[in-house]
Amino acid sequence: MDYTEALEKLSRMTRFGINLGLQRIRCLLKLLGNPEEHLPVIHIGGTNGKGSTLAMLSSILRAAGYRVGTFTSPHLVSYTERFMICGQEIAEKELAALLEEVLAQVAAVEQKTGEKPTEFEVLTAVAFLYFAREQVDVALLEVGLGGDIDSTNVVKKPLLAIITNVALDHTAYLGETRAEIARRKCGIIKEGCPVLTGSTEEEVLAVLREQAAACRAPLYEITGDTRWLVQGELTVQGKKTTQGKSRAAGKAPEDKRQAGQYFALHTPHADYHRLFLPLWGQHQPANAALAVRAAELLKEKGWKIEERHIRQGLAETQWAGRLELVGTNPLVVLDGAHNPAGMAALAQWLSQQKEQKKTIQRVILVIGMLDDKNRAEAISRIGSLVDVAIITRPNSDRARTWEQIKPLFDAPSKALVIEDVAKALQKALVEASPQDLVLVTGSLYLIGEVKKLLKEKSLEVK
């Protein structure tokens, strides 16, 4: 079975959609010899920021010399992105072989459980097989949906569980309130295993504290004892570098389109000055604080992690599609904000940009959102900051009513509807002057499609 054939077979699993529960994945893994039982795991859940936190922690651990596997979702361009070891995607040939091995057990799972495994369960099994056979030092697993009955939650004793934050998203599956959603997400807390959270809402923390106490799991909160301060932003426009302050301790990687920020971080263990993070957004230092605290907790357990590894790891972090700068004339930025909380963080960054960079004249938004998101609230967070909105259709069956977000803008007359993503982005680029900002957001499916177009040179940005 080659890679194309493997993906065709995998695509047939998508019709089973979201079907939460652990009985199928447990059965599937048992048939495969329970590879998850031989893996040191750090389990990362939360509503927003879990992917960024995972990327930062992975980079720190790799800088310290550890062999790190990462399983993330969704992918932007290729399924191979979901399975990485030390930052390198799995080879298509190897992924095809693993998919063939796992898919061969689907009939047996259906016979034993009465249900076929979902696509995500198949991919989860592939991740466990891959990382176990490659004997990684640690596997970082990103929760797919929720926590307690997500297929990654078959791990019995993780080294550490991280719950970044809890906001309203996937309410049809997880609950209508933050407290209800928190109960689902804290299902990754296991008996005696430490848990780290960036949540600050008392409603959420009360739930996490209760569950951690019930599991006799030490809970570490990013609250009063951990603080950060942004010290300057780095933006490269063409070949000219502009930054909030001079580059001192941290050193940004050389890249003509490098963007990021410097910040100071205080934790119970150390004071870090002038850390560089190649990611924009005031929410990213909060994610970085989680990654650093996770590294410090591992160090307490004997892991050989020093400040230089933390500095290097943060400075070398790569996380595509999150305030990612892909063009400089005009500025073209991609961000996968797909729920109200994510859109609020994006709006905060955008407001800051408009205040600090007087050179940005207009914001041209290219947006596509899925039907199951709270689109009205998401648009309310950013609509007033936008001069022109171009509404397009993400490549997903969950975007059947994609064009219905047009009247959600304060002035629907400033919103255009262009179904084809390539034509929508081309329209934005033609509309934009060199002093404008083209911002693409709303769904990771949309971000992935745009990145694919750029990779294939179907669209050109400068």
Q: What is the pLDDT of residues 416-431, one digit of tens each?
A: 999 999 999 999 999 9
Q: What is the pLDDT of residues 73-88, one digit of tens each?
A: 989 999 999 999 999 9
Least confident segment among 109-113, 173-177, 225-229, 355-359:
355-359
Residues 238 and 337 in one domain: no
Residues 76 and 38 in one domain: yes
Residues 24 and 147 in one domain: yes
Q: What is the CATH number of the domain that holds 339?
A: 3.90.190.20
- Is the CA virtual torsion 424, 425, 430, 436 positive or negative? positive
Q: 185 and 166 in contact (C-beta within 8 Å)?
A: yes
- Residue 461 belongs to a domain: no
Q: What is the pLDDT of residues 199-228, one digit of tens each?
A: 998 999 999 999 999 999 999 998 778 999
Mean per-residue pLDDT over the chain, rounded: 88
User: First-to-last CA distance in the chain?
Assistant: 40
Percent of the chain surpassing pLDDT 70: 90
- Residue 462 belongs to a domain: no
Please report the pLDDT score of residue 414 as a whole number.
85
Report CA Rg, the chain: 22
From 315, 345, 361, the end of a domain falls on 315
Residues 304 and 328 in one domain: no
Please report the pLDDT score of residue 48 as a whole number.
87
DSSP labels, 54-105: HHHHHHHHHHTT--EEEE-SS-SS-GGGGEEETTEEPPHHHHHHHHHHHHTT
Contacts of 395 (CB under 8 A, 6+ apart): 421, 445, 446, 448, 449
Element (DSSP H or E) covering residue 204: helix 202-214
> Which phi and psi angles does 84 have, rounded to 5°?
-130, 150
Higher-pLDDT residue of 14 and 4 is 4
From 206, 221, 236, the end of a domain falls on 221
- Residue 160 belongs to a domain: yes
- Residue 460 belongs to a domain: no
Q: Is the pLDDT of residue 98 over 70?
A: yes
> Which phi and psi angles does 398 have, rounded to 5°?
-90, 20
Query: How many CB atoms within 10 Å of residue 300?
Result: 10
Least confident segment among 66-70, 173-177, 268-272, 383-387:
173-177
Residues 23 and 61 in one domain: yes
Q: Is the pLDDT of residue 71 over 70?
A: yes
Residues 155 and 259 in one domain: no
| Structural domain for 205, as ranges | 3-221
Chain CA centroid to CA 16, Å = 24
From 284, 315, 346, the end of a domain falls on 315
- Residue 400 belongs to a domain: yes
Please report the pLDDT score of residue 249 as a whole number.
43
Q: What is the pLDDT averaged over residues 240-256?
A: 43
Residues 232 and 353 in one domain: no
Residues 186 and 243 in one domain: no
- Residue 98 belongs to a domain: yes
Please report the pLDDT score of residue 240 as a whole number.
36
What's the whole-model pTM score? Answer: 0.89
